[in-house]
């Protein structure tokens, strides 16, 4: 039973355009959401996060949107650059643990930026 779902295993986007990565969750106890970026043979790198009390968080080219009623979040990257090619993981933590008891991850989406 997967609690965090990334239904697109891969996504190809042209350089300069917007990349939109999607994530759905089923556990209503999740109250904090994160996106990680991962290059091959490296550990995941924290990218951006959002608390459930917000619906948007922005950091430079990266924006995360949260729709609590739909249990859906998305990561927008504008403009997409070649260095953005990586696997992106959506992750969540629950109110009860405050994140201290670990994160629940999706399976990841491989973003490929085409020149």
State which residue, 57 or 79, has the beta carbon closest to other proteins. Answer: 57
> Cβ of residue 91: shortest distance to other proteins, in angstroms?
8
> Cβ of residue 75: shortest distance to other proteins, in angstroms?
15
Whether residue 79 is preceded by a cis peptide bond, meaning omega within 30 degrees of 0, is yes
> Cβ of residue 2: shortest distance to other proteins, in angstroms?
9
- Counting every residue written for the chain, the total comes to 115
> Cβ of residue 97: shortest distance to other proteins, in angstroms?
8
Q: What is the DSSP string of 70-107?
A: TTEEEEEESS--GGG-EEEEEEEEETTTTTTT--EE--
Q: Contact residues for other proteins (CB under 8 A)?
A: 4, 6, 32, 34, 36, 41-46, 49, 89, 91, 93, 98-108
State which residue, 101 or 115, has the beta carbon closest to other proteins. Answer: 101
What gap in Å lies between CA 44 and CA 88, rounded to an integer?
A: 9
State which residue, 17 or 95, has the beta carbon closest to other proteins. Answer: 95
What gap in Å lies between CA 114 and CA 15, rounded to an integer?
A: 6
Look up residue 90 and give its two tokens.
Answer: 């959506």
């Amino acid at each position: 039973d997967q609690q965090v779902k990334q239904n697109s295993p891969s996504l190809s986007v042209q350089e300069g355009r917007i990349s939109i990565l999607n994530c759905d969750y089923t556990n209503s106890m999740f109250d904090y959401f994160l996106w990680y970026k991962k290059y091959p043979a490296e550990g995941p790198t924290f990218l951006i996060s959002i608390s459930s009390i917000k619906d948007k968080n922005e950091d430079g080219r990266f924006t995360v949107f949260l729709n609590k009623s739909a249990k859906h979040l998305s990561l927008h990257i504008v403009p997409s650059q070649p260095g953005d090619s990586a696997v992106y993981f959506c992750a969540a933590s629950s109110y009860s643990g405050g994140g201290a008891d670990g994160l629940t991850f999706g399976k990841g989406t491989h973003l490929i930026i085409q020149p």
